Amino acid sequence: MATTTTTSATCGLTSRALLDPKAASSQLRPHFVRLPTLPPPRPTASWSHRKTASHMSRSVIAMATGETPAEVSSELPEVMKTIKDAWDKLDDKYAVASLVLVGLVALWTTTGMISAIDRLPIVPGVLELVGIGYTVWFVYYNLVFEPDREALIEKIKGTYSDIIGSRS
């Protein structure tokens, strides 16, 4: 028994189980704690409640803009009509739809690449410094002095007319 006491003191254990064998059997029994029961779940809102909430939100928008709900809801058909008219004027709808799809995929891809680069530890700071340095260089060489500004404006106008074409 003395060795057990010495061992427990050396290990820093002060459990009664090491000193008293009867206490060890009482500590091995499982103890249960009873938790309070949860209240029953509340019934979900029906569709009529959701419709009412949606109607209330439209009313709040109408009150904020000072328009009646009919005026607010009439803006959506006007936008859709404008989009439909622009779509009907197009000659090559497949090309436009393809370009939109390619643009969305490119946007998604570049967003993924940028977020992956942003997770690297040192690269975002270095790229930020490069961006600040290039901005300072561009402002100094193209915007500070008047002849450089005029040359930049002429270059932008020339590029614009090359892309859009001259309307004469």
User: Are residues 128 and 100 located together in one domain of the fold?
Assistant: no
Domain count, the chain: 2
CB of 9 within 8 A of CB of 19? no
CB of 72 within 8 A of CB of 65? yes
Please check whether residue 102 lies inside any domain of the structure: yes
Report the alpha-carbon distance of residue 152 to residue 160 in Å, rounded. 12
Share of the chain above pLDDT 90, in %: 32
Tokens encoding 20: 């008293």
pLDDT tens across 60-72, in order?
Answer: 555 555 555 555 5
Please check whether residue 115 lies inside any domain of the structure: yes
- At residue 104, does pLDDT exceed 70? yes
Report the alpha-carbon distance of residue 61 to residue 76 in Å, rounded. 14
Range(s) of the domain holding residue 95: 76-119
Please check whether residue 61 lies inside any domain of the structure: no
Report the alpha-carbon distance of residue 80 to residue 85 in Å, rounded. 9
Please check whether residue 8 lies inside any domain of the structure: no
